[in-house]
Structure 1
Amino acid sequence: MIQLKALLLSTRAEYFRLELAEQLFKRGREIPLVGILAAVTCATLFQTSENKGALTIWVIAFIALYATSYLALFLPRRKPNANTYAVWTRNFIWAFASYGVMWGVFTFICLESLGFWQEVALFMILFAIVSVPMPVLAYCLPAAILHPILVLGSASVLLIQKSLEPGMNHETSLLVMLLVASVMSTYKQMIMAKSLVSSVDDRRRLSTSVSTIQKMKREKYQDTVTGMLNLEGMVCHMRKARLSGGTGYTLLSLKVDDLEQMYSTHTKSIVDRLVKVVARRIESPAGGALTVAHVGLGEYLILTPEQDAEAEEGTIGDLFQAFNHPYFSGTKQLYLTVSIGATSLCSDEHDESAVISKAVSAMREAAKDPGNSFARYDTSMSDRFNRWMGIRSQLQHAIKSNEFTVFLQPKVEIETGAVSSAEALIRWQSPTMGIVNPADFIPIAESTGDIMALGRWVLREAALLVQNPMLPDAFSIAVNVSVKQFADPKLIGLLEEIAQELKGTQRRIDLEITESALMLESVEVKMMLRDIERLGFGVALDDFGTGYSSLSYLTQLNADTVKLDKSFLDEIPVNTKHAAFVSSVILMAKTLGLKLVAEGVERKDQLDWLALNQCDAVQGYLFSRPLAFPDLLRWLECRTTQPEVIESQLLTVSPT
């Protein structure tokens, strides 16, 4: 019994499988019925006066065993499935082991009372009983071994006894030969079982390989989120469209504005649902389109037949119209806008990738004025796009190679002329591209996620600079924090390190946060702001006035400073509306106990007006451009040793 259990355990992983159980169920249903007929026939043929009673009990018990096993194993509702195949196979093995035991008992009952030719007939019948179920038992090696051994076991014992008796005759020798033949047949049965199992494995592996190949083919051309074509699928369709001839085609590149930001403020499942909704909306008005593809991050390509200007305008208008109603994200309504670029695909254009690049260039040009904007490709866009791609390709290398420098633009207190803070501004001096404007590489860094590493680098550099002993004792450096950095899991750890370094000093790092980050109202942003407040960092609301709900955010954000955007100062004091707005903001900031800094001050009349209206501090070209750190130190020393510079720039009258 222990050996049998060990055999079952050792073979379970290999032979207890659904596909084998299904074959056993399909091919073995007749065996119990044939077994009943064989039991009745054998009991009738080999019945003698000596064994009549025992055979009667045997045949009744065997019929009951066959019937019970049939009901337990081979009724339609007993068919093995993924949940029951292991138990079913185990019961199948036990059933055939029981059959073998019963046929062994039959041999013990009959063999001693039979003549020689009856013994031969019995061995031939036993050989048939072993051989007939071979094709079925070949799918289950444990049963294939147990059944023949148990069937022939009794005969083997009896023949061994006879062979040990003195003067073994030729009749016994013949019976031994029959037994050996049966054993060899059993061995072949084991070989057959292994080969059948191996063939089942081969079929399964082949089926899996074919399925995998088909899946890989689908995935090669199909977007996994929307089920549409992906970029490679679009290239293939564009090639087919070109080869099929025709008058030409128009390729549209459509991008959902600001969708990248949602990946840092929403779960991936929410954004994926949004991407699917956008895909369905594009398909509806673009019903005449040959192909619509999703190429990632809310960007789509639409291949349409070439149209005249009026028809194309109608197609673009239909696409814009598709986004007029909101998308519902949980309990919130989200209105989407898109940017669309267009270019033509001529029959003599053999580079589909170049055509796609042109459409994308036009889309990016349109995205500079977000909010359902459209642009058609022209050659000047290609140069700008190549520049964009060049910056993107070199950005990561530039971060690793430390090609960036922190410049500082001082902030001047209007009333006293003191300089106790500065804003950190990053600069990139590329060995191949020269000086790269932050307005060019910062948006790219945000779109690629490199802004996280870049932002951490700026914070580390600012923390080192602010600790320089040549700066005034109480000095702070303000660092801009992008909305994408709120998704950086390393940011809080870095801020904790900086806070520990500056602990016990009058030096400080301030964080300038744009109003757009606050408007996201995500849990991550709120948690990050609480952590920043806990660590004692100063917080400034940057670009104030450019959002939609600026005044309300002043009461919600636990900020120290409000920075007034340059766009509101350019026309002050000439533009009375701007002047009235800025005046009201200054008054409210004073009421809330906030410090107000005006950035981008370039003219003396702006400074005079800000001083008259009690603005606290200014920064801008009127005082200083952004400076490298050694230049800032010299600039500060100059202001200390030459106070007449202050007098020439500031009001001499007290603000009212």
Structure 2
Amino acid sequence: MARHAGIDAEHRLMEWDSALQEVQDGKADAIALFAAEERAPFLDFTEPFYYLFHGIFSHDDGEHFSSLAALEGHRAAVVAGSHAAARLAEEYPDIPLVPVATEYDCLRAVQARQAEACIEASLTSMRHAAEMNVRQSSPPFWPQPYVFGVRKGNTAMLDWLEHQLAVVMADGTFNDIYQQWRPELEWRKPSIIDSLRTFAWVFAILLLMALMGFSFSWYLKRQVSLRTRLLSQELKARSRLEEELRYQAEHDTLTGLPSRTTFIESLDRRLQEERDWDPTVILLRLLNIDQLTSMFGYHFGHEALLIGFSKHLESLNFAQVGHFGSGVFAILLKQDMCHEEIALLVNKSLTIDTISIDVHVAMGICEGRVKREGQTSSEAEELVRRAMTAYSSATETGRPWRTYNPDLEPDPNDLLLLQDFRRHGTRDMHLLYQPKLDLAGGYIKGAEALIRWEHPQLGNVSPAHFIPLLEETGLITRLTYWVIEEAMHAAERCRAYDKNFCISVNISSRDLMEGSTLVDFIKQREISEHKQALCLEITETGVIQDQGHAQKVIEELHEANISCAVDDFGTGYASLSYLSAFSVDEVKMDRSFISNMLENRRHRTIISSTISLAHELGLQVTAEGVEDTATLRKLAAMGCDTAQGYVISKPIAERELHQLIGRRHFSETPP
């Protein structure tokens, strides 16, 4: 973690009590330990990065204790001041405790019969126990999260540790280190079976030789030819079996293509042999495989399609072709080819059992070598990973292919935002309100709630950045419900100044399709009995597929005294169809039409037609993004009902909004 941050870290080895005291005194920054309640008053903990269990260790020649209840009345050795000592004293007061200095002394106490059992962490104690006549006699218990602890109140160090843990886990460094030390972390004493497995082939050969010698002693003259022939047949069969097993391990069972591991190993060998070679690695997937499986069944739509497509790729004479499973294929080019040519070659229709099937493929392309500085994985693995990153970007953007570049890598700050939102929710968020001006009366009659995020490390994060991020990860509903609840309370407070005041909240079509969940959430909160205390603005970020269900939800919202509006009207997917299919109450014209309406005759015509159409349908019209008084007066003359924009007010806090309510801010006739 320190290397990632570009700083030096000093590691100190000392007695446990001394180490705890060093952290409490501020002489050491952090300590790795169990997260325990008794340590919480003087330490703050990071999120767990590992879990350890305790176990009971008994003497080989003594009674084997399988549970803590069985230990009552028997002496148990524990490390003084440890988690085990505290819990046993609290939960099992009938177990006499023998305090010792270290974990090793705990096991030695059992070895020397000074205690009948030792209660210690299983993972670290098993290796010491293997050197004594001591064994673990109970299943694991007391799962304990292993964390970093810092002195209470050392928020800067805690935040730094949390951030670095998130980074090393996100980029794979944590997993690489764990795999490197896995034999030590998951150590177990070699068993008899392990020893037998090690010497299995030696034993088999020796046994065969003994049998052959015994047979030769009895049938030397009559059966030497027969035994030789049988031995030869057995060796050939074994050789064939080994070849088959090796082939199955290195190739995909269904397609017969090299597996992911074999593809990467082969690519690594090529890269080492040809130092001046710039490879092109392509990762592609059949996009319609799930649809074809659903349509034709697993055998034809899945297996037959994969087999047919793999044969097609092999026929194209690429340098390497591999199948990673689930319709994901890898290709290595041996000559330069343009991307369009590759797409045409792989997207060829296949004929399977007389049925012609159109193949739809998305590709991720990685070109050139990889610089090895700071890389823990092999160059081939990194090339494949980059191709996968490009493939993911291609599928997200709907492109047939995408070439890797560093900009496609996930932003570590995005990972931090998601982690903090999952952990703290809306703790660092607040709402601002942009007033909506009634053009007929000149008074502020409503406002739109706008979310803001003041992140403690990243500062002010734009909603245009974090809202799509939350939508992609399925966390947006939690935020939407919080904004709705906050806006409902704000509307109630504003109605003390104007009983008809309404606050608008943006929701996506996805939120609308949740139906009863959204309606029930609103009904459970107390709001004004008058209609339109709250208005939900449906943003046109996507097409609403089930329009019948959406209309039913809107009707239920109306019954709950909630009005609905179409936001950004004219720029989304289905503006006119929304007005036809849904019983909305308001249309909000997008700022792209308003900003230059005085100079653009087409935009004025669109605005005028939209106002007339909305009024014919009985809907209110709001203009967004009004920046000057001349535009405001023109909208009023055209019959627009309400407007919002910086000429009226920027987004402001609720207390500032209260000061604007009840004051006249506009008159259609210039003074």
Q: What TM-score, normalized to structure 2? A: 0.49
Distance 1:614 1:528 in 2: 30
- Alignment partner, residue 466 of structure 2: 441
- Residue type of the alignment partner of 1:652: T
- Residue type of the alignment partner of 1:580: T
- Alignment partner, residue 243 of structure 1: 269
- Residue type of the alignment partner of 2:403: R
- Alignment partner, residue 417 of structure 2: 391
Deviation per CA, 1:148-169: give whole Å up to 9, x if none: xxxxxxxxxxxxxxxxxxxxxx
The within-5 A match list for 1:101-500 is: 237-245=263-271, 247-252=277-282, 288=316, 302-305=330-333, 308=336, 311-316=338-343, 342-344=365-367, 346=369, 350=378, 355=383, 358-359=386-387, 370=397, 372=399, 375-382=402-409, 385-399=411-425, 402-468=427-493, 470-486=496-512, 488=514, 490-498=517-525
Secondary structure, counterpart of 1:420 in structure 2? strand
- Alignment partner, residue 583 of structure 1: 608
Residues 458 and 479 of structure 1 are in contact (CA less than 8 Å); yes or no, is this contact kept in structure 2? yes
Tell me whether 1:637 sits opposite 2:659 in the alignment.
yes
Deviation per CA, 1:471-523: give whole Å up to 9, x if none: 5222111111123324546323202213xx12534661111113455532366
Deviation per CA, 1:78-131: give whole Å up to 9, x if none: xxxxxxxxxxxxxxxxxxxxxxxxxxxxxxxxxxxxxxxxxxxxxxxxxxxxxx
> What RMSD over aligned residues (CA atoms) do the two structures have, in Å?
4.8
Distance 1:440 1:228 in 2: 42
Shift of 1:292: 7.4
- Residue type of the alignment partner of 1:344: E
- Alignment partner, residue 528 of structure 1: 553
Distance 2:481 2:615 in 1: 33
Tell me whether 1:556 sits opposite 2:593 in the alignment.
no
Residues 248 and 306 of structure 1 are in contact (CA less than 8 Å); yes or no, is this contact kept in structure 2? no
Tell me whether 1:546 sits opposite 2:571 in the alignment.
yes
Tell me whether 1:566 sits opposite 2:596 in the alignment.
no
Distance 2:586 2:475 in 1: 28
Query: Relative to 1, partners in 2 of residues 1:343 and 1:524: Cα closer, same or farther, differing over 3 Å?
Result: farther
Shift of 1:443: 1.3
Distance 1:313 1:249 in 2: 18
- Decide which of 589, 595, 599 is 2:624's aligned counterpart: 599
Residues 446 and 484 of structure 1 are in contact (CA less than 8 Å); yes or no, is this contact kept in structure 2? no
Query: Relative to 1, partners in 2 of residues 1:598 and 1:591: Cα closer, same or farther, differing over 3 Å?
Result: same
Secondary structure, counterpart of 2:500 in structure 1? coil
Distance 1:561 1:295 in 2: 50
Distance 2:558 2:255 in 1: 45
Shift of 1:353: 6.6
Query: Relative to 1, partners in 2 of residues 1:378 and 1:463: Cα closer, same or farther, differing over 3 Å?
Result: same
Residues 338 and 371 of structure 1 are in contact (CA less than 8 Å); yes or no, is this contact kept in structure 2? no
Residues 543 and 574 of structure 2 are in contact (CA less than 8 Å); yes or no, is this contact kept in structure 1? no
Shift of 1:637: 1.4
- Residue type of the alignment partner of 1:555: S
Shift of 1:391: 3.1
Shift of 1:449: 0.9
Residues 293 and 302 of structure 1 are in contact (CA less than 8 Å); yes or no, is this contact kept in structure 2? yes
The within-5 A match list for 1:65-76 is: none
Secondary structure, counterpart of 2:367 in structure 1? strand
Residues 342 and 377 of structure 1 are in contact (CA less than 8 Å); yes or no, is this contact kept in structure 2? yes
Secondary structure, counterpart of 2:583 in structure 1? coil
Secondary structure, counterpart of 2:411 in structure 1? helix
Residues 228 and 292 of structure 1 are in contact (CA less than 8 Å); yes or no, is this contact kept in structure 2? no
Q: Aligned pair count? A: 396
More strand by share: 2
Residues 513 and 542 of structure 1 are in contact (CA less than 8 Å); yes or no, is this contact kept in structure 2? yes
5+ unaligned residues in a row in structure 2: which ranges? 1-244, 350-357, 373-377
Query: Relative to 1, partners in 2 of residues 1:595 and 1:570: Cα closer, same or farther, differing over 3 Å?
Result: same
Residues 492 and 528 of structure 2 are in contact (CA less than 8 Å); yes or no, is this contact kept in structure 1? no
Secondary structure, counterpart of 1:601 in structure 2? coil
- Residue type of the alignment partner of 1:474: N
Distance 1:228 1:444 in 2: 37
- Alignment partner, residue 539 of structure 2: 514
Distance 2:456 2:470 in 1: 18
The within-5 A match list for 1:54-65 is: none
Deviation per CA, 1:390-420: give whole Å up to 9, x if none: 4334332241x62222222211122222212
Tell me whether 1:615 sits opposite 2:640 in the alignment.
yes
Residues 444 and 661 of structure 2 are in contact (CA less than 8 Å); yes or no, is this contact kept in structure 1? no
- Residue type of the alignment partner of 1:495: I
Shift of 1:529: 3.1
Query: Relative to 1, partners in 2 of residues 1:361 and 1:385: Cα closer, same or farther, differing over 3 Å?
Result: farther
5+ unaligned residues in a row in structure 1: which ranges? 1-213, 323-334
Structure 1 stretch 506-515 or stretch 358-367: which is displaced more? 358-367
- Residue type of the alignment partner of 1:346: R
- Alignment partner, residue 164 of structure 1: none
Residues 388 and 440 of structure 1 are in contact (CA less than 8 Å); yes or no, is this contact kept in structure 2? no
Secondary structure, counterpart of 1:467 in structure 2? helix
Distance 1:468 1:406 in 2: 14
- Residue type of the alignment partner of 1:305: L
Shift of 1:592: 0.7
- Residue type of the alignment partner of 2:339: E
Shift of 1:607: 2.4
